[in-house]
Amino acid sequence: MKNKIKCIIDSDPGVDDCAAIALSLYDDVMDIKLITTVNGNVSLNMVTRNVLHLLEKFNRTDIPVYKGAKKAMYRISPDASFIHQAQGMGGYIPPETVSTLPRGEDAVEAMYETIKQNKNDISVILLGPHTNMGNLLVKHPDVKYMINHIYCEGCAPYGLKTEGERWVNYVSFNVSSDPEAFKLVMESGIPVTIIPSRMGRELSNFTEQEVYEIGKINDVGRFIAEMYSGYWEPGYDDRRIATNDTCAVLALRMPKLFKTKKAYFYVNTTDKPGETMVEFNRLGNVNYTYKVNRKKLHKFYFNAIKKLGRFKFYEQ
């Protein structure tokens, strides 16, 4: 088999983050060199605890974890505990403490050193607010010449449809949490693939029946389904689970699942912070994903859970 894809996962776990990371830990294509955490879905301490809990359960504490930004670059950071629940893992309640400690408190330096050691041979997956990446670009601007690609989840370039064909909101959580950092990433010149919120919420979401089926696969499936039980996507008539962050990971791992268009992305940092607008242009600064093979994505997801059957989350 060809060499694995080296990557850094920068994340704010988060239900969808936890699911995406869990299914990546033993992937036969991905080589996770570093995981960094950022304040986002819940507090920095909680998201760090959550990912360390995952690594302990999956026996992957060899992957270094570094804590990153406690708040946005220039703003007061919101959180999304109203969706991810108080502990950030939906219906699953993690332990208050874990045995493993993060390697350090400076995610920016850890990212920089890891990227330098794998110059032009590493991609960064941004699953939360872009604060760590924004701080990295400010502190070490030369890093923009060393990163192979950035994959990120977030943005609603067409807004969120709330009534008929009327689009009234162009804001998504990851972008609006730190629009200045998002702007730095978009203007960095680094190749970027964007997975908009609609990709996970409407084009590749899981139905309530599919969540039930996930929970019956094995112990890992039960764990993921339990997280999902406290993570139903608001604003829809049915009960559905968004796969936003899984899509971001799979855009790196299985790019043929998605169709993309070149586009310019603009973000509002003034009167409507986090509002994103898109202009399709073959010379654009990002690859925008607009279509996915839902059937193949779901098949991959179910098979990935089956492969993790030896791991136990619950007492037997």
- At 167, is the pLDDT very low, low, confident or very high (cuts 50, 70, 90)? very low
Q: Quick check: 151 and 248 in contact, CB under 8 A?
A: yes
Q: Give the three-state DSSP class for 156.
A: coil
For the chain, the straight-line distance linking the first and the last C-alpha, in angstroms and rounded, comes to 36
Where do we find the tokens 């609609």?
Answer: 198
- At 171, is the pLDDT very low, low, confident or very high (cuts 50, 70, 90)? low
Whether 37 shows a pLDDT value over 70: the answer reads yes
Whether 161 shows a pLDDT value over 50: the answer reads no
How far is residue 60's CA from residue 192's CA, in Å, rounded to a whole number? Answer: 28
How far is residue 74's CA from residue 285's CA, in Å, rounded to a whole number? Answer: 24
Whether 187 shows a pLDDT value over 80: the answer reads yes
How far is residue 24's CA from residue 311's CA, in Å, rounded to a whole number? Answer: 14
Relative orientation angle of helices 244-253 and 15-22, to the nearest 10 degrees: 30
Kindly list the domain boundaries of the chain, sorted by start residue: 5-306
Whether 170 shows a pLDDT value over 70: the answer reads no
pLDDT tens for each residue of 67-97: 999 999 999 988 888 889 999 999 999 999 9
DSSP state of 62: T
Q: What is the mean pLDDT of residues 101-129?
A: 96
Mean pLDDT, the chain, as a whole number?
92
Q: What is the mean pLDDT of residues 9-29?
A: 96
Domain 5-306 sits in CATH at 3.90.245.10
Is cis: bond before 14, omega within 30 of 0?
yes
- At 280, is the pLDDT very low, low, confident or very high (cuts 50, 70, 90)? confident
How far is residue 201's CA from residue 203's CA, in Å, rounded to a whole number? Answer: 6
Whether 252 shows a pLDDT value over 80: the answer reads yes
Q: What is the mean pLDDT of residues 307-312?
A: 94
List the Cα angle 233/236/240 in 5-degree steps: 45
Q: Quick check: 149 and 126 in contact, CB under 8 A?
A: no
